[in-house]
C-alpha cells in the first residue's frame, strides 16, 4: 500500500520525503541511517540486517561472494575508486595462514562526515560487511581504524560489536558453520596521513603513522606482514545491500563504469548543507540547484571542490557534468571520498588553493622531502600572491613545483597535494593574474590587496566613524568622510554598518 | 543465534515496533548523530519521552536514530503513523517537542508550522 499524505490545513510540505532536497536522493549505503535506532541490533535485524551474512555463510562459497562483489561494479568509496571485487579477489588469492580485514574510518578530509554518519547511524552494516569480507577472503580477525575525534561513532561501534558477539555474529562458530571472526577497534589520533592505507596499517601495528612504498600492496603484505583487505566505511556499508538485493540491482544504478550511489557531505555556500546520497552520474547541477537549493542570498555559483585537499575544483561552466569517477578526473577534479564544498562569487579561488595547501603543510608526515618542503614552498608562494607581492615568475614557479611534488612524493598525500593549485590555475588563471598584475582580488577576499574607500553616496552620518576600531575614518558631520589607508585594518565593520552603500572595497 | 530461522523470529518480533503497519501505534525518532546532538537533540529526546510518559500515551515508541541528513535544520524529530507519510519536524526545542507530542501524537493533528516545509 502506498503511504497516503496525512491531512494538513494547507500545502505545506510536512515530510522530508517530499522535499526537493530528498527527491533526487537514493539511499543504499544510508538505507538505515535516520530510520533505525543504531544502538539496537534487533532493529537492524528487523530491516533485514545480518540476513546477507546468514546466507553467505550457509549457502554461498567465498568464491561466489567475491564474484557477486565483482559483478556489482562496486568501487572503493575512500577516494581512489579501485574496484572492490578485484581487491577482494587479490586478498582471497593471497596464500597465507593468517589474513586480516580492516576498515578505514579515519575520514580526515576537512568538512567530510559521510563515514561518521554511517558509523553513528548504522554501525551493524559495517560489522556485517566485515564478517562477510572475512569469510570471502579467508580472514578471522578484523580491525576498524577510527579517529578518536569521533567519540559517538566509537561508542555506537562498541555497543554494536558487543551486541553482535552476544548474538553470535562475531566469535566462534558463526551460524553454526564453524567460521570464526572477531573484530576490534583501533583509535587513531586524527592525522590526515593515517587515512593513507600503508600509514593506517603502520599505525594499527602500534608505530608512528607514516606511509611506506607500494608495492607490496596491503592485499599481499599488510597488517603484521600478512595479506590484508582494507576498505572504506561506505564501501562496506554497500556490501550487505548488494548481497541481499543482488548485484544486478546494484549495477543498474549509476553509470557504465561507476555503479551504485555516492554519499556527499554538502557544505560551503549552499542553502541545504547536509548529508546526501545520490546515484552516481547525477549531474552537479542537480546536486547544487535541486538537492542543495542553490547558493544562499541569490549569489552566483562559481565552483565546487570535490576530493578536499587532494581534489580539484569544478567550475560553473562544467555544472552539467555527471558526477562519476571518469568524468570528474577528465576535467582535473576527482570523486574523492565525498566532501563537496560549494563556492559562490564571493570566494577567491587563489585563497581556496592557499587554504588547502595550508592544510597539507600541517598534515604532511615529513617522511619525504618533495612533500615536506615542497608543500611549504607552494604555500609560501600562494601567500606571496594573495598578499600582493607576487610576480608572474612566481606563477610559473608554482606550476613547476606542482609537477615536481606530484612526481616525486612517496604517498598520495604529497602526490595529490598540488591538485587544488593546478585546478584553480587551469580554470581561474585570470584570478591569479588579477592578483599578480592588477594587484586586485576580484572576489574581495585577500586582505593584502584590499583598499577600503568612501564614495559620493556618503551622507556624513558618522556611523562608520563610531564602529571603526582604529580611528581610520575622519570627516565632518553631513560631509563626505575619508578612510586613511595607513590606519585601516580592513575589518569590514564600516561596510556592514553603512546604510547608504557608501563604503567600497576593491 | 544458530540459524536463519532464529534471525527471522527476531525480525518479525521487532518489525511491528519499528515500522508499525496498522493500528494506532506511533513511532517517534530523534536524530542523534553528532550534528543533531550538537544542535541540542538530547534534551529534545528527553522531552519527548517525558511528555509521552506524563500523558500516559501507550503504543508510542520514542527512540534515537542516526543522521537524517538535513544538518541545517537540526534538531529533527520525525513521527511515523501507520499508513501515513512520515512527518518531519525541524529546529526542535524542548517546548516544541512537548507541543508535537500533545497535538500530533495525542491529538492526531499535525503541527504544520513546525514541519520542514514551514521552516523556509
Ligand atoms: C592522504 C590520504 C588520506 C586518506 N584518507 C582516507 C580516509 O580517511 N578514509 C578512507 O577510506 N580512505 C582514505 N584514503 C584512501 C586509502 O588509502 C585507501 O585507498 C582506501 O581506504 C581504500 O578503501 P576503498 O577501496 O574501499 O576506497 C586516503 C588516502 C590518502 C593518500
Ligand atoms: S608524500 Fe608527504 S605524507 Fe606522504 S610520505 Fe611523503 S612526506 Fe609523508
Ligand atoms: S575596514 Fe575597519 S579599519 Fe578599515 S575603515 Fe572600515 S572600520 Fe575602519
- Which residues of chain A lie closer than 8 angstroms to B78, CB-CB? 16, 34
Test site for ligand 2: of A414, A416, A417, A418, most ligand atoms within 8 A of the Cβ: A414
Residue B58 three-state SS: coil
In this structure, are residues A38 and A156 in contact, taking their beta carbons and an 8 Å threshold?
Answer: yes
The CATH architecture of the domain made up of A451-505 is: 2-Layer Sandwich (3.30)
Whether the pLDDT of residue A384 is over 90: the answer is yes
The closest CB to that of A19, out of B29, B37, B116, belongs to B116
Residue B88 makes CB contacts below 8 A (sequence gap 6+) with A14, A15, A16, B68, B76, B77, B78, B115, B116
Q: What mean pLDDT value characterizes chain B? A: 92
Work out the minimum CA distance from A503 to partner chain B, whole angstroms.
31
- For the CA of A217, the nearest ligand: 1
- Which residues of chain B lie closer than 8 angstroms to A8, CB-CB? 110, 112
Residue A244 in contact with partner chain B when CB distance is under 8 A: no
The closest CB to that of A54, out of B7, B37, B87, belongs to B7
pLDDT tier for residue B19 given thresholds of 50, 70 and 90: confident
Work out the minimum CA distance from A18 to partner chain B, whole angstroms.
9
Please tell me the residue having the least CA distance from ligand 3 atom 4.
A488
The closest CB to that of B112, out of A3, A12, A25, belongs to A12
Cell (9 digits) for A178? 564453524
pLDDT for residue B83: 86
pLDDT for residue B25: 86
Residue B107 in contact with partner chain A when CB distance is under 8 A: no
Please tell me the residue having the least CA distance from ligand 3 atom 6.
A494
Residue A164 makes CB contacts below 8 A (sequence gap 6+) with A41, A124, A127, A170, A183
Measured distance CA(A146)–CA(A105) in Å, rounded: 5
Work out the minimum CA distance from B54 to partner chain A, whole angstroms.
23
Please give the DSSP secondary-structure letter assigned to residue A83: B
Residue A243 three-state SS: helix
Measured distance CA(B81)–CA(B86) in Å, rounded: 7
Q: What percent of chain A has pLDDT over 70?
A: 98
The closest CB to that of A13, out of B31, B70, B117, belongs to B117
Give mean pLDDT, residues A159-187: 97
Question: Are residues B112 and A150, on separate chains, in Cβ contact within 8 Å?
Answer: no
| Class of CATH domain A349-438 | mainly alpha
Q: Which atom of ligand 1 is nearest to the CA of A77?
A: 27
Backbone dihedral angles phi then psi of residue B14, each to the nearest 5 degrees: -90, -30
SS3 per residue for A441-496: CCCCCCHHHCCEEECCCCCCCCHHHHHCCCCCEECCCCCCCEECCCCCCCCCHHHH
Strand partners, A268: A342
The closest CB to that of B71, out of A3, A7, A274, belongs to A274
pLDDT for residue A2: 42
Give mean pLDDT, residues B39-46: 97
C-alpha A355, offset from chain centre: 16
Give mean pLDDT, residues B20-47: 91
Residue ranges of the domains in chain B? Answer: 21-119
Measured distance CA(A347)–CA(A328) in Å, rounded: 21
Q: How many CA atoms lie within 13 A of A413 on its CB side?
A: 35
Please tell me the residue having the least CA distance from ligand 3 atom 7.
A468
- For the CA of A108, the nearest ligand: 1
In this structure, are residues B115 and A45 in contact, taking their beta carbons and an 8 Å threshold?
Answer: no
pLDDT tier for residue B1 given thresholds of 50, 70 and 90: low
Q: Say what the ipTM of the complex is.
A: 0.94
Measured distance CA(B106)–CA(A480) in Å, rounded: 64
Give me the helices (H) in A1-122, please.
Answer: 20-23, 41-46, 51-59, 62-72, 84-93, 114-121
Q: A-B interface: how many C-beta pairs under 8 angstroms? A: 160
First to last CA, chain B: 48
Measured distance CA(A187)–CA(A81) in Å, rounded: 25
pLDDT tens column, A306-341: 999 999 999 999 999 999 999 999 999 999 999 999
Whether the pLDDT of residue A133 is over 70: the answer is yes
Q: What percent of chain A has pLDDT over 90?
A: 95
Backbone dihedral angles phi then psi of residue A155, each to the nearest 5 degrees: -60, -45
Test site for ligand 1: of A149, A195, A233, most ligand atoms within 8 A of the Cβ: A195
The helix (run of H) or strand (run of E) holding residue B95 is helix B94-100
Check whether domain A261-344 has CATH 3.10.20.600, yes or no:
yes
Give mean pLDDT, residues A31-58: 96
pLDDT for residue A231: 98
Measured distance CA(A120)–CA(A153) in Å, rounded: 5
Cite the residue boundaries of each domain of chain A with CATH code 3.10.20.600.
Answer: 261-344
Cell (9 digits) for A298? 541569490
pLDDT tens column, A205-262: 999 999 999 999 999 999 999 999 999 999 999 999 999 999 999 999 999 999 999 9
Measured distance CA(A360)–CA(A416) in Å, rounded: 10
pLDDT tens column, A147-157: 999 999 999 99
Ligand 2 center from residue A193 Cα (angstroms): 8
Question: Are residues A116 and B117, on separate chains, in Cβ contact within 8 Å?
Answer: no
pLDDT tier for residue B2 given thresholds of 50, 70 and 90: low
Residue A33 in contact with partner chain B when CB distance is under 8 A: yes
Strand partners, A106: none
Measured distance CA(A73)–CA(A85) in Å, rounded: 8
Whether the pLDDT of residue A32 is over 80: the answer is yes
pLDDT for residue A8: 46
Instruction: Name the CATH superfamily for A28-251.
Output: NADH-ubiquinone oxidoreductase 51kDa subunit (3.40.50.11540)
Cell (9 digits) for A270? 549552499
pLDDT for residue A10: 59
In this structure, are residues B100 and B87 in contact, taking their beta carbons and an 8 Å threshold?
Answer: no
- Which residues of chain A lie closer than 8 angstroms to B83, CB-CB? 1, 3-4
Residue B60 makes CB contacts below 8 A (sequence gap 6+) with B25, B26, B27, B28, B52, B105
Whether the pLDDT of residue A9 is over 60: the answer is no
Residue B2 in contact with partner chain A when CB distance is under 8 A: yes
Residue A29 in contact with partner chain B when CB distance is under 8 A: no
Please give the DSSP secondary-structure letter assigned to residue A5: P
**CA torsion A266→A268→A271→A274, rounded to 10°?**
30
pLDDT for residue A280: 98
pLDDT tens column, A457-489: 999 999 999 999 999 999 999 999 999 999 999
Work out the minimum CA distance from B56 to partner chain A, whole angstroms.
23
Ligand 2, CB cutoff 6 Å, lining residues: A 193, 211, 364-368, 371-372, 409-411, 413-414
pLDDT tens column, B69-86: 998 999 999 999 988 899
Q: What mean pLDDT value characterizes chain A? A: 95
pLDDT tens column, A338-369: 999 999 999 999 999 999 999 999 999 999 99
Query: Which one, of A107, A96, A115, lies nearest residue A222 by Cα?
Result: A96
- CATH no. for B21-119: 3.40.30.10
pLDDT tier for residue A192 given thresholds of 50, 70 and 90: very high
Ligand 2 center from residue A363 Cα (angstroms): 9
Whether the pLDDT of residue A440 is over 60: the answer is yes
Cite the residue boundaries of each domain of chain A with CATH code 1.20.1440.230.
Answer: 349-438
Amino acid at each position: 500500500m502506498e503511504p497516503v499524505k496525512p491531512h494538513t490545513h494547507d500545502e505545506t510540505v510536512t515530510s522530508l520525503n517530499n522535499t526537493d532536497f530528498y527527491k533526487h536522493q537514493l539511499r543504499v549505503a544510508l538505507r538505515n541511517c535516520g530510520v533505525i535506532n543504531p544502538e539496537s541490533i534487533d532493529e537492524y535485524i528487523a530491516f533485514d540486517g545480518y540476513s546477507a551474512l546468514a546466507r553467505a555463510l550457509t549457502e554461498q562459497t567465498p568464491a561466489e561472494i567475491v564474484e557477486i562483489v565483482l559483478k556489482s561494479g562496486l568501487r572503493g568509496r575512500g577516494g581512489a575508486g579501485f574496484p572492490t571485487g578485484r581487491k577482494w579477489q587479490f586478498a582471497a588469492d593471497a596464500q597465507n595462514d593468517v589474513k586480516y580485514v580492516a576498515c578505514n574510518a579515519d575520514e580526515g578530509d576537512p568538512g567530510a562526515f559521510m563515514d561518521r554518519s554511517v558509523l553513528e547511524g548504522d554501525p551493524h552494516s559495517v560489522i556485517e560487511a566485515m564478517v562477510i569480507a572475512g569469510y570471502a577472503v579467508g580472514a578471522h580477525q578484523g580491525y576498524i581504524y577510527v579517529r578518536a575525534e569521533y567519540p559517538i561513532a566509537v561508542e555506537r561501534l562498541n555497543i554494536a560489536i558487543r551486541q553482535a558477539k552476544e548474538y553470535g555474529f562475531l566469535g566462534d562458530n558463526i551460524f553454526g558453520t564453524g567460521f570464526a571472526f572477531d573484530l576490534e577497534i583501533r583509535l587513531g589520533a586524527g592525522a590526515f596521513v593515517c587515512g593513507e592505507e600503508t600509514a593506517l596499517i603502520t599505525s594499527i601495528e602500534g608505530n608512528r603513522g607514516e606511509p611506506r612504498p607500494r608495492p607490496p600492496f596491503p592485499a599481499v603484505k599488510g597488517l603484521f606482514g600478512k595479506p590484508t583487505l582494507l576498505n572504506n566505511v561506505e564501501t562496506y556499508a554497500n556490501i550487505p545491500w548488494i548481497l541481499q538485493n543482488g548485484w544486478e540491482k546494484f549495477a543498474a544504478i549509476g553509470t557504465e563504469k561507476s555503479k551504485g550511489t555516492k554519499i556527499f557531505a554538502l557544505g560551503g555556500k549552499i542553502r541545504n548543507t547536509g548529508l546526501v546520497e545520490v546515484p552516481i552520474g547525477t549531474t552537479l547541477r542537480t546536486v547544487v540547484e535541486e538537492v542543495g537549493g542553490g547558493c544562499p542570498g541569490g549569489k552566483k555559483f562559481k565552483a565546487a571542490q570535490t576530493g578536499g585537499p587532494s581534489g580539484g575544483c569544478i567550475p560553473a561552466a562544467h555544472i552539467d557534468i555527471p558526477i562519476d569517477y571518469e568524468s570528474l578526473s577528465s576535467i582535473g577534479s576527482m570523486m574523492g571520498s565525498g566532501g563537496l564544498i560549494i563556492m559562490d562569487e564571493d570566494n577567491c579561488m587563489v585563497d581556496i588553493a592557499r587554504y588547502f595547501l595550508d592544510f597539507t603543510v600541517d598534515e604532511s608526515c615529513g617522511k619525504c622531502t618533495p612533500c615536506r618542503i615542497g608543500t611549504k614552498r607552494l604555500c609560501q608562494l600562494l601567500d606571496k600572491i594573495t598578499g600582493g607581492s607576487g610576480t608572474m615568475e612566481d606563477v610559473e614557479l608554482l606550476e613547476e613545483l606542482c609537477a615536481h611534488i606530484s612526481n616525486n612524493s612517496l604517498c598520495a598525500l604529497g602526490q595529490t597535494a598540488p591538485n587544488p593549485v593546478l585546478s584553480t590555475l587551469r580554470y581561474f588563471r585570470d584570478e591569479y593574474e588579477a592578483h599578480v598584475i592588477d594587484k586586485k582580488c576580484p572576489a574581495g577576499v585577500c586582505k593584502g590587496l584590499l583598499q577600503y574607500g568612501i564614495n559620493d553616496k556618503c551622507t556624513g552620518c558618522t556611523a562608520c566613524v563610531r564602529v571603526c576600531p582604529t580611528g581610520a575614518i575622519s570627516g565632518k558631520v553631513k560631509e563626505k568622510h575619508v578612510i586613511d589607508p595607513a590606519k585601516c585594518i580592513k575589518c569590514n565593520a564600516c561596510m556592514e554598518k553603512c546604510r547608504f552603500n557608501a563604503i567600497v572595497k576593491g | 543465534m544458530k540459524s536463519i530461522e532464529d534471525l527471522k523470529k527476531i525480525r518479525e518480533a521487532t518489525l511491528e515496533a519499528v515500522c508499525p503497519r496498522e493500528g494506532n501505534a506511533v513511532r517517534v525518532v530523534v536524530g542523534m548523530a553528532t550534528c543533531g546532538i550538537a544542535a541540542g537533540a538530547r534534551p529534545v529526546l528527553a522531552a519527548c519521552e517525558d511528555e509521552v510518559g506524563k500523558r500516559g500515551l501507550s503504543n508510542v515508541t520514542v527512540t534515537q536514530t542516526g543522521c537524517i541528513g538535513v544538518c541545517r535544520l537540526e534538531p529533527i524529530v520525525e513521527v511515523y503513523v501507520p499508513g501515513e507519510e512520515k512527518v518531519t519536524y525541524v529546529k526542535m526545542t524542548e517546548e516544541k517537542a512537548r507541543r508535537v507530542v500533545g497535538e500530533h501524537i495525542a491529538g492526531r493533528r499535525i503541527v504544520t508550522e513546525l514541519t520542514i516545509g514551514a521552516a523556509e
